Structure 1
């Protein structure tokens, strides 16, 4: 900011004070205008960051809903196979019959899997990196940070649960033995039961994550599962 002093001859104290006040007023006006421009820039950046974060969170909720629907369908199919295998084994059916019934209960192909959503955080990371997050209101910022913390915590919890419930190598061996025709009905029951338990845990965790994210975004709104 540069101000030119008026090149006039001051004839009296009154003239001096007038020019002095003009200079002070010019400085204050310039500073006020600069502050207003900076404040407007911050508000604009915060509004853009908030819109991008809101869109990202909404996209993550849609992804959670999509994956949860898939996992719930897989859970029901696996539970049906598990219960059918258990019934056949208790009825002393031969392994070949048990396996045939198990495959028939999964007409789209016999496979054991579950899915977990890839939840994005790019908008949040950018807002933190370019400091626009610091210009978002404190309450709104707290809600956003809670949502992303919930996402990370749920993914970590699911990873921990998998290590307890699911025996990956054993599952792979069971699928190879099934293809080679050497798998027993008892071993398949164990493998299916493991995967059914894992998918059940995934669905439960996604139910909880969806509910908690919606509650964090809008504490006054009733959550849905």
Structure 2
């Protein structure tokens, strides 16, 4: 910021003080205007970033809820076949009879676990262009917690969601059943329990992930 001080002759102390005060007021006014413009820019940038983040989190939350509903729907047949075969085994039915029942229910013996894409683009942009630093602190903390949960969920689904599942055994059993071959009922129940646990674990993790997202979206008008 540059000011060109006018060159005038001072005829009295009063004129000097008036001229001095005029310069000071001009500088303060310019500085105040500059700060106001900068503050307005920051406020608009924070509002835009918040709107983008809210939209992204809202969409992700809906996708999580849809995935939970889908997983629970697909989990029900697995639970039903587990109950039926477990009852046969507890009754002491011959393996051949149990296998007949397994083949009748083989259409339910399928694992399908769903989870959404855990998008973080809006947050990444806000951090990169520093508009996140101008968002209200309490709201910023909620956003940070929500996106930390999303990153944890993305890592979990990539590496741990099916960690307890013996996929080769599952495929082997599915192949034998589809070919009409007998399987060991206890082994079948063991793999089936792995499938159920993996599905339930995913649903539970998705529910936990949705909690900080809901908190971040609550009272967004503040």
TM-score tier after normalising by the smaller chain length: 0.7 to 0.9
Given the alignment of the two structures, is residue 100 of structure 1 paired with residue 103 of structure 2, yes or no?
yes
Match of 1:153 in 2: 152
TM-score, normalised with respect to structure 1:
0.84
Matches for 1:16-95 after TM superposition, within 5 Å: 16-89=16-89, 90-92=92-94, 94=96
Please state how far the C-alpha of 1:53 moved relative to its aligned partner: 0.9
CA contact (8 A) 1:147 1:217 kept: no
Q: Evaluate the alpha carbon distance shift between residue 115 and residue 52 of structure 1 in structure 2; reply closer, same or farther with a 3 A threshold.
A: same
CA contact (8 A) 2:85 2:101 kept: yes
Match of 1:210 in 2: 210
CA contact (8 A) 1:177 1:183 kept: yes
- Determine the C-alpha separation between the residues in 2 that align with 1:88 and 1:156: 39
Given the alignment of the two structures, is residue 3 of structure 1 paired with residue 6 of structure 2, yes or no?
no
- Determine the C-alpha separation between the residues in 1 that align with 2:193 and 2:41: 57
Instruction: Give secondary structure in 1 for the equivalent of 2:162.
Output: helix
Q: Evaluate the alpha carbon distance shift between residue 144 and residue 183 of structure 1 in structure 2; reply closer, same or farther with a 3 A threshold.
A: farther
Please state how far the C-alpha of 1:47 moved relative to its aligned partner: 0.6
CA contact (8 A) 2:58 2:217 kept: no
CA contact (8 A) 1:113 1:195 kept: no
User: What whole-Å deviation, never above 9, does each CA across 1:2-47 have from its counterpart, x for those lacking one?
Assistant: 3232243332222222222111111111111111100100010011
Instruction: Give secondary structure in 2 for the equivalent of 1:8.
Output: coil
Please state how far the C-alpha of 1:128 moved relative to its aligned partner: 0.6
- Determine the C-alpha separation between the residues in 1 that align with 2:38 and 2:10: 37
Please state how far the C-alpha of 1:98 moved relative to its aligned partner: 2.6
User: What whole-Å deviation, never above 9, does each CA across 1:106-127 have from its counterpart, x for those lacking one?
Assistant: 3xxx532211222211111111
User: What whole-Å deviation, never above 9, does each CA across 1:47-80 have from its counterpart, x for those lacking one?
Assistant: 1111111111111110110000011011111111
TM-score, normalised with respect to structure 2:
0.85
Comparing 4-13 with 77-86, greater Cα deviation is found at 4-13
Match of 1:169 in 2: 168
RMSD: 2.3
Please state how far the C-alpha of 1:212 moved relative to its aligned partner: 4.2
Instruction: Give secondary structure in 2 for the equivalent of 1:124.
Output: helix
Match of 2:123 in 1: 124
- Determine the C-alpha separation between the residues in 1 that align with 2:197 and 2:56: 30
